[in-house]
Structure formats: C-alpha cells, structure tokens
C-alpha cells in the first residue's frame, strides 16, 4: 500500500521547508519521516512546532473533507483551496495532516525516529 512507502516532500515555494505527513490514530500521532521510517507521539510528546500547526489546521478546516479511503499520495500533499494554509499546514482528511516544517526541525525529528519494519504486518 502507498502509505507504507509514504515520505515527506520538499515544499516547493520555500526551499528550506518540507511537507511532512502526520496521521492521527486514536491518541497517537504518526509522523512520516522517510520510507518505512516513522516517529509515534502522543499529543503531550508531539513537538510544539508540529502540534501548534495541527491546531491551526483543525481551526482552518472546512466541513467537507475526503475520507481516508479516497486519499492517494498526490491528493494528500495538495493543499485544499479552502481550509488550509499552503505555507503552514492543512488537514487532508479526518485523520491526515500535512505540516510544513523547517529542514533543521525535520533533521532533528529524523535523528530521534524509530525504524518501523514494514515487512511485518503493519498495525497503522
């Protein structure tokens, strides 16, 4: 499935920033850092520069979001015309977010991450 190989993309109009996918599963936030490399947080342990953007995305979100099942890799990374800020964050579905973070913050997250072996059955 495409989610297992999901990874951030460069943010096109701001070269020092990256579009990072975040999935909310119950009380956990799964931050996708590279192919098969994720970091799992709770709301209390989520870095402030991500949690604040998730809060913004929730405030900006319009009432109509696509379902998780109708998303694909392309639509996940596309900022909606309403309900998001293309240079900060947006909510792609009820459970998916894209946050724009600086490359330095991204590198810090990546170094702290834990590898998840997707050859085993995924629980995401």
Q: How confident is the model at residue 122, as a pLDDT?
A: 47
The answer to which of 4-8, 27-31, 100-104 has the lowest mean pLDDT is 4-8
Map out the domains of the chain as residue ranges: 2-94
Assigned token pair, 62? 């319009």
CB within 8 Å of 71: residues ≥ 6 apart = 92, 93, 96
pLDDT digits (tens, 9 = 90+) for 82-103: 667 888 899 988 899 999 999 9
**Contact between 53 and 43 (Cβ < 8 Å):** no
Q: What is the value of pTM for the model shown?
A: 0.83
The candidate with the shortest Cα–Cα distance to 103, out of 5, 20, 4, is 20
CB within 8 Å of 98: residues ≥ 6 apart = 19, 20, 21, 22, 76, 77, 79, 89, 90, 92
List C-alpha distances in Å: 68 to 24, 34, 87, 106, 115: 11, 20, 23, 25, 24
Percentage of residues of the chain with pLDDT beyond 70: 84
The mean predicted confidence, pLDDT, of the chain is 82
Q: Identify the three-state secondary structure at position 92.
A: coil
pLDDT surpasses 90 at 28? yes
């Amino acid at each position: 499935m495409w989610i297992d190989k999901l990874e951030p993309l460069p943010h096109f109009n701001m070269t020092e920033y990256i579009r990072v996918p975040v999935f909310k599963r119950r009380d956990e936030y799964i931050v996708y850092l590279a192919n098969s490399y994720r970091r799992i947080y709770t709301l209390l342990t989520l870095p402030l520069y991500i949690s604040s953007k998730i809060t913004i995305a929730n405030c900006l979100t319009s009432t109509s979001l696509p379902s998780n099942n109708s998303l694909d890799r392309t639509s996940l990374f596309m900022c909606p015309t309403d309900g998001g800020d293309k240079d900060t964050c947006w909510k792609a579905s009820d459970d998916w977010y894209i946050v724009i973070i600086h490359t330095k913050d991204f590198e810090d997250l990546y170094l702290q991450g834990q590898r998840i072996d997707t050859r085993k059955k995924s629980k995401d």
